[in-house]
Amino acid sequence: MRKFLYIITFIGIALGAYADEVVFKASAPKQVIVGRPFQVSYTVNQRSRDLRAPEFTDFDVLSGPYSSTSSSTSFVNGKRTSSFEQTYTYMLMATKEGTFTIGPATVKVDGEQVQSNGVRIQVLPADEQPQQQQSAVSNQQSANSQQQRANSQSASSENLFVRTIASKTRVHEQEALMITYKLYFANVDVAQLTNNTKLPEFTGFLKQDLDQGEIQTELEHYNGRNYQTAVLYRTILYPQHSGDIKIDPANFEAVLRVQVQQRARSIFDDFFGSYTNVTKMLTAPGVTIHVSPLPAGKPAGFSGGVGHFTLTPSISQTEVQANEAVTIKLDISGSGNMKLLKAPAIDWPEGFEPYDPKVTNNFKTTTSGVSGTKSIEYLAIPRSAGEYTIPAVNFSYFDIDSKTYKTLSTPEYTIRVKRGANEPTANSQEPIAISYTQKEDIKQLGSDIRYIDTKRVEGRKSKVESIHYNLIWLWYVVPLIIAIVLLVVLRKQIKEASDLTRMKYKRANKVAQKRLKAAAAALKANDKNAFYAAIESAAWTYLSDRLSIPTADLNKENIASILRQKGVSDALIADVMNVLSTAEFARYAPSTDHEMDDLYTATTNLINNLENEKI
């Protein structure tokens, strides 16, 4: 029985290996340089034979194919897994620059022909060297080989630098442009990039950062040389006003691995080498963006949209009963300054009770800008029967390609409102309450009933009875006055509580002081992470509540702009920017207790000064 189980298990493993899908894949570098060898590999996950390679018409075949195999077997939790790879390698060299495609190859696996994928390769030109430099190098090849190795590791501005690349330098207001900071290095070993980075404020722009992900390197031919490049930072900018807007330089810190030159060297030093890490600060130059104002003749429905958009309207129903909701939905799709688009207004007919529109954003940020869909739902309730017309809704925007204004419109909607089920009709037998008052309804009835002579009764009251009578009235009047006062006070408190923006405004200082106490406790405990988190939270939350801007939409640019509109001095605005920047960068840089004390004092003084400004 045991032998039978072993046989079944062996057959299952063999059938499982045979049933594995055949994968035949070609791989090659994306960029190569003219005159430099490179490899093209073809890998198959099963034993194969009879490789038929494509014609390498645009490349010289230096050698190949070389065949190699590798296999592995592992047991995990009693389960056996195995893998096998067979690789064919060619050594090629490009003879001319351009972009070329190498076609697929074929092999036979178990008698069946399998085809690989093709590869696309960009060939960059060879490095250009000045004639004098070529002559000097050729004269010193034998005498100064060691000095050349040292120079190859030198971090000069020609071998290592950061470029500021603007996708556009001439744009209109609210037109998207991308700023890229790209590292270029050649003959330099960049070990790592530190967090000691100082980016400009991008004043005058609305900023939308791109997801950087893991830094990847690739070849690029620039100014006659081939460099390894890496994108350090990218952001999408939307200029908020016209004119020339200057973006300040940015600073990045890199750690270089440099070979140490020693006087007394041995064969082991030449083989292994001795290296040290050197820190170098790299400065990316600033750039000026020329921003043109939007042309005159803005349509009535224009609310600042710039880009490319489409409008898709829909309505929930056109026949409803009274007191039944009607929903109109507008989907604005496209690319541009999507986050700044305002909801168009709908002119509801009289007799409709509208509600605030519900806005849903589904955006994504790419290298071409922000794109997606803004969905706006308008809800209204008709209160009486009849036939109503909802006018067309216009959405206007500035089209970047045509440099003209365009208007998108919805159709007119006709809504028939039927009488509600509980609404009485003219022929209904149910009583209808009518409230009216006319002068003729009030008559003097003194002839039928004689009135009580109150003067005579009051004249007969004694003083005790008069006091008792007044006390009885006080028992009724005083609680009534108290109830009225309480009602007024409660209504005022409810109204203030329902206004969340005003409540946040009034409680801004109290909330900030509470978080400053948490920062003080963290400072006393020397908990730097908790201290800087509390300082940042106190400053940003206070500004969000005082300026009535949601925290998600808050940035340094609109803080400075709103403070200027409120008449705050430039010096105090500079203090605000300094506190925010210091708290932001201090979390990622080493700091001392003295710097933490200074930041706490500066933040406290800043909040007190803003309170005195009564913004």
DSSP characters over 290-328: EEEPPPS---TTEEEEEEEEEEEEEES-SEEETT--EEE
CA distance 566 to 543: 13
Amino acid letter for position 560: A
* Over residues 581-585, mean pLDDT: 73
Judged against a pLDDT cut of 60, whether residue 16 lies above it is answered with no
Judged against a pLDDT cut of 50, whether residue 152 lies above it is answered with no
Judged against a pLDDT cut of 60, whether residue 498 lies above it is answered with no
Distances in whole angstroms, Cα of residue 151 to Cα of each of 169, 190, 255, 412 = 37, 15, 17, 75
DSSP β-ladder status, 177-185 and 24-27: unpaired
**Residue 590: Cβ-neighbour burial (10 angstroms; 0-12, 13-18, 19+):** exposed
CA distance 501 to 355: 19
**For the chain, what percent of residues have pLDDT higher than 70?**
77
Produce one character per residue of 2-26: b if its CB has 16 or more CB atoms within 10 Å, e if not: eeeeeeeeeeeeeeeeeeeeeebeb
Q: Where are the beta strands (DSSP E) in 95-124?
A: 98-102, 106-109, 112-115, 119-124
CA distance 533 to 596: 12
Which helix (H) or strand (E) segment holds residue 360: the answer is strand 358-366
Please tell me what DSSP assigns to residue 515. H
Q: Could you tell me the two tokens for 291? A: 């921003």
Judged against a pLDDT cut of 70, whether residue 599 lies above it is answered with yes
Per-residue pLDDT at 189: 85
Judged against a pLDDT cut of 80, whether residue 520 lies above it is answered with yes
Of the candidates 234, 216, 105, which has an alpha carbon nearest to the alpha carbon of residue 176?
234
User: Quick one: angle between helices 570-586 and 593-613, nearest 10?
Assistant: 140
Per-residue pLDDT at 154: 54
Q: Could you tell me the two tokens for 145? A: 């080989």
pTM above 0.85, yes or no: no
Q: Could you tell me the two tokens for 328? A: 């109109």
Distances in whole angstroms, Cα of residue 266 to Cα of each of 39, 141, 262, 272 = 34, 21, 10, 10
Cβ atoms of 67 and 88 within 8 Å: the answer is: yes
* Cα 491 to the center of its chain, rounded Å: 41
Judged against a pLDDT cut of 80, whether residue 590 lies above it is answered with no
Q: Which of 17-31, 47-61, 255-269, 358-372 has the lowest mean pLDDT?
A: 255-269
182: confidence class by pLDDT, cuts 50, 70, 90: very high
Judged against a pLDDT cut of 70, whether residue 578 lies above it is answered with yes
Which residue has 């980075």 as its token pair? 197
The pair phi, psi for residue 144, each rounded to 5°, is: -125, 40
Instruction: Give residues with Cβ within 8 angstroms of 315, minimum separation 6.
Output: 326, 327, 328, 329, 413
* Cα 307 to the center of its chain, rounded Å: 18
126: confidence class by pLDDT, cuts 50, 70, 90: confident
Distances in whole angstroms, Cα of residue 231 to Cα of each of 201, 325, 611 = 19, 52, 43
591: confidence class by pLDDT, cuts 50, 70, 90: low
257-276 pLDDT, tens per residue?
A: 877 765 545 555 555 557 78
CA distance 93 to 602: 62
* Over residues 207-232, mean pLDDT: 87
Distances in whole angstroms, Cα of residue 216 to Cα of each of 228, 233, 257, 600 = 10, 12, 19, 39
Instruction: Give residues with Cβ within 8 angstroms of 144, minimum separation 6.
Output: none
281-340 pLDDT, tens per residue?
A: 999 999 999 999 999 988 888 888 999 999 999 999 999 998 899 999 999 999 998 888
CA distance 477 to 471: 10
Q: Which of 80-94, 443-457, 499-513 has the lowest mean pLDDT?
A: 443-457
**Beta bridge partner(s), residue 398:** 306, 405
443-455 pLDDT, tens per residue?
A: 333 444 444 444 5
Per-residue pLDDT at 17: 45
Per-residue pLDDT at 434: 33
Per-residue pLDDT at 263: 54
Per-residue pLDDT at 444: 38
Produce one character per residue of 138-162: b if its CB has 16 or more CB atoms within 10 Å, e if not: eeeeeeeeeeeeeeebebeeebbbb
Judged against a pLDDT cut of 70, whether residue 474 lies above it is answered with yes
The half-sphere exposure of 203 on its side-chain side, counting CA atoms within 13 A, is 11
* Over residues 150-172, mean pLDDT: 79
User: Quick one: angle between helices 556-565 and 570-586, nearest 10?
Assistant: 160
**Residue 230: Cβ-neighbour burial (10 angstroms; 0-12, 13-18, 19+):** middle
Per-residue pLDDT at 139: 46
Per-residue pLDDT at 307: 92
Amino acid letter for position 211: D
CA distance 447 to 444: 8
Instruction: Give residues with Cβ within 8 angstroms of 189, minimum separation 6.
Output: 153, 256, 257, 258
Per-residue pLDDT at 295: 92
**The most confident of 119-133, 393-407, 424-438, 471-485, by mean pLDDT:** 393-407
Per-residue pLDDT at 468: 65
Q: Which of 323-332, 382-391, 489-498 has the lowest mean pLDDT?
A: 489-498
Per-residue pLDDT at 423: 57
* Over residues 98-119, mean pLDDT: 89
**Chain mean pLDDT for the chain:** 79
Produce one character per residue of 510-543: b if its CB has 16 or more CB atoms within 10 Å, e if not: eebeebbebbeebbeeeebeebbbbbbbbbbbbb
Per-residue pLDDT at 580: 78
